[in-house]
Amino acid sequence: MDGALTAFATLGTVAVSLLPVDTAARWQKQLLPFDERLEGRASASAARTSDILATVDVVVPLGLLLGQEGMSERYGQRTLIYGETIVVSLFLNGVTKYLVGRPRPYVYSDDPRVQEYARDQGTDSHLSFYSGHASTTFAASVAGAYLFAQGTSDKRARAAVWGFELALAGATANLRTRAGKHFYSDVIVGALVGAAVGFAVPRLHGGGKVELAAAEWVAIGCAPVLGVAVAQLLPAKADLTVPLQAVVLPWATLSGGGLLLARAF
């Protein structure tokens, strides 16, 4: 059943990308008043950093669970639950993004370079609500820490995992707004939905009730705020990463050959 649900959610995540999105629209009013201050923002540097942090946040729980269980059947079961959590979160996010079709902050820029970048992004430029990075990292953080807590009674270790994971999730969400990829409301909703999915899926599978200690609650409450604060201090210059739009061609000489990366300038 878990395998079937995971497969369905995976296929559904791909299928929703076929839904049409109006890439010419601009919202005249944002969901929250303070969203408007992000209109026109763009930073490829912040986007790259958020990608790195999100990857670390998702991968670390797999290593922690492997350390607890080793290559065993139980590890496979818990990994399936963790993977199911991530895929369900991605599916819900994908459906919402394509149905809402909210323009990303950088779409509102008057800079010709940013406007060209938005056109190159196509449909992705109007998939702002809600943040997939925020929902995925918070789902991974909560599910990973919850599953880890089921396997140990070490309160300090559990608090450290909650803190580390949620701090990364908070930092990732903050950097998505600094990158011009999402509005504040996008990452807030993404964090809430992701955390809910991250708790619900492992909890519905049972595996032992988790009683959180005071230190764990402190970590859960403070770590995301700390992550946001630290990410705010990281440098995030206003820059763009322009796609190469190149083609790969065969290349040969009398002495050898290979592939040539070509682009029209």
Summarised one tens digit per residue, pLDDT across range 7-22 is: 888 888 888 888 888 8
Strands 247-253 and 256-262: antiparallel
Q: How far is CA 163 from CA 75, 83, 90, 215, in A?
A: 23, 21, 23, 10
**Domain map of the chain by residue range?**
2-262
Q: pLDDT value at position 37?
A: 93
pLDDT tens digits, 196-233: 999 999 999 887 788 899 999 999 999 999 999 999 99
Q: pLDDT value at position 194?
A: 97
Q: Which residues contact 228 (CB under 8 A, 6 or more apart)?
A: 170, 171, 173, 174
Long-range contacts for 91-96 (Cβ within 8 Å, ≥24 apart)? 91/9, 91/10, 91/12, 91/13, 91/16, 92/135, 92/193, 92/197, 93/130, 93/131, 93/132, 93/135, 93/136, 93/190, 93/193, 94/12, 94/13, 94/16, 94/17, 94/132, 95/12, 95/16, 96/129, 96/130
Are residues 189 and 129 in contact, defined by beta-carbon separation less than 8 angstroms? yes
Which ranges of the chain have pLDDT less than 70? 242-247, 254, 263-265
Q: pLDDT value at position 244?
A: 52
Q: pLDDT value at position 247?
A: 67
pTM of the entire predicted model: 0.87
Q: pLDDT value at position 243?
A: 57
Q: pLDDT value at position 167?
A: 98
Q: pLDDT value at position 36?
A: 93
Q: pLDDT value at position 5?
A: 82
